[in-house]
Amino acid sequence: MLKVLHIITQLVLGGAQDNTLITIAKHDRSKFHVHLASAPHGLWLERSKKVADVFYPISHLVNPISPLQDIIALIEIIRLLRREKFDIIHTHSSKAGILGRWAGRLAGIPVIVHTVHGFSFHDFMPTWKKQLYIFLERISRSCGDFYITVSELNRQEAVQLKFFKLDNSITIYSGIDFKKLDREVDLTLVKHQIGIPDKWQTIVSVGRLDAQKAPHFLIDAFAQVLSYYPETVLLLVGDGELRQELEAQVNRLNITSKVYFLGSREDVPEILKIADIFALSSLWEGLGRAMTEAMLVGKPVVVPAIYGIPEIVHHQETGLLFEAKNVEQLATHLVYLLQHPEERDRLGQNAKNLTRKLFDGDAMVRQIEEVYEKLLQEKIH
């Protein structure tokens, strides 16, 4: 049986983590003994220990760059790889991707695969910092045998940036567990538990309350929406360093009773199902996992036209797109959909039809395993 180790930086609630844990859970156990290494904290630590056959804590694996901790983490990973003699390591996220690939090369691991869930750099950071991240990715490219991206746009951009080549990479859309999304839900009860008044309309956003997700743009747009549709609530699912700042913004706009900060939740599918509209105001995204889940349950989405998002959100076909940071455009789209329930239904159904074909968790894992088997065969020959 082949020993595969997945390495990810942290076990916080996030798209990269959900993708990794679904992969680990669905691996074919008749072929693979599946291990996981990560920093030993985060809301999904217990879930991780349940799905992996063996879990290894890498205590010095941290975000962001920390030279001393990173060197110690690299040594920890090399020791683990030499001791356990894995056939394959599969790294996820930028920090674990760089350290894991270097450790794999130094430890002589036969097959090294890396998944790009989104880039660690973006246009809203200082140029020197962006260039540093690009440099680190370039010098690490020869340490990986094969690369997986979760959107074709990410793949094309990475090839242009010389992170890898077209012939040693593939796009595999991030699989989602449909069973979790399709379980029966009493929508009236969920609304009642959250405290949404009867017959009010609901806009839902799911994501960390941080600079990347930029929820303050959505709050500003929602304040405009309320002048047309006062019987509407905005549910913000997620937590982060901007929470107090956002609560102050809501207070300042005098819309405290209409914006619900729900924090991190384990019942996201249920909350998505009570939404009339799903909205995001992110500045950068790999693809947007919560957005994909909203589409999978047939919800219309209003999201920025950034990075991989337009690959699946086709404007006026499977959702509505707006220019990042354009609060007026975002507000206009939200008002339009609140005004036109038949258009919400049409976009939601189209979104569901498209995403059900592309984001099957079982199909994702089969594709990943085909990559492993092909690479191992090439090493033998």
Provide the token pair at 168. 């040693």
Residue ranges for the chain with pLDDT beneath 50: none
- The answer to whether the CB of 5 falls within 8 A of the CB of 35 is yes
Q: Note the pLDDT of residue 372.
A: 98
Cα 368 to the center of its chain, rounded Å: 17
Domains 2-175+360-380 and 178-358 share a fold: yes
Q: How far apart are CA 178 and CA 364, in angstroms?
A: 12
Q: Note the pLDDT of residue 363.
A: 93
The CATH fold assigned to 2-175+360-380 is: Rossmann fold (3.40.50)
In CATH, what number does 178-358 get? 3.40.50.2000
> Within 13 Å of residue 295, how many CA atoms lie on the same side as its CB?
31
- Angle 166-167-171 (CA atoms, 0-180°, nearest 5)? 60
Query: How many other CB atoms are found less than 10 A from the CB of residue 3?
Result: 16
Q: Note the pLDDT of residue 299.
A: 98
In this structure, what are the phi and psi dihedrals at residue 210, rounded to the nearest 5 degrees?
-140, 180
- Tens digits of per-residue pLDDT, 271-308? 999 999 999 999 988 788 999 999 999 999 999 999 88
- Tens digits of per-residue pLDDT, 336-353? 999 999 999 999 999 999
Closest CA to 276 of 328, 360, 214, 333: 333
Cα separation values, 307 from 63, 155, 313, 324, Å:
23, 11, 11, 11
Q: Note the pLDDT of residue 266.
A: 87
Q: How far apart are CA 325 and CA 149, in angstroms?
A: 26
- The answer to whether the CB of 280 falls within 8 A of the CB of 291 is yes
- The answer to whether the CB of 271 falls within 8 A of the CB of 235 is yes
Domain ranges of the chain: 2-175+360-380, 178-358
- The answer to whether the CB of 36 falls within 8 A of the CB of 54 is yes
Query: How many other CB atoms are found less than 10 A from the CB of residue 326?
Result: 16
